[in-house]
Amino acid sequence: MRLALLSTIAVFLSAVAPALAQGPDPAVGRRLAEETCASCHAVGAEPDAKSPDSKAPRFLDVAKMPSTTELSLKVFLRSSHRNMPNFLLSPEETDGVAAYILGLKKK
């Protein structure tokens, strides 16, 4: 009985672990940024791009700020802000957008 239980757990973990280990998907974050944020922000990696709203920082500039970390982005994306619409992002969407912005730091 115990061996059967351990075998079942091992099979379950081998099926679930790869999905958990993948982490946030920056491609999902990019798609969401293009659909939701690009009306105000320059969301791409183009160094000469300008945000449609001059008060909205470019994602590339946000990525390169010394204070930008995974945690700071997630907190920011989950908080309401006076000059931004209040978006309700799922945890996976928040993680994806944060991963996308952090990926811009390397460009």
Residue 2 pLDDT level (bands cut at 50, 70, 90): low
Q: Residue 100 burial by CB count (10 A; 0-12/13-18/19+): exposed, middle or buried?
A: buried
> What is the structure's pLDDT at 29?
95
Average pLDDT, the chain: 85
Q: Which residue has the tokens 């998907």?
A: 25
* Predicted pLDDT of residue 90: 92
> Tell me, what CATH number does 39's domain have?
1.10.760.10
Ranges of beta strands (E only) in 9-87 are: none
- Residue 84 CA to residue 46 CA, distance in Å, equals 23
What is the rounded CA–CA span in Å between residue 65 and residue 4?
A: 52
pTM of the model: 0.77
Domain assignment present for 42: yes
| Number of domains the chain contains | 1
Give me the domain span that covers residue 76.
25-104
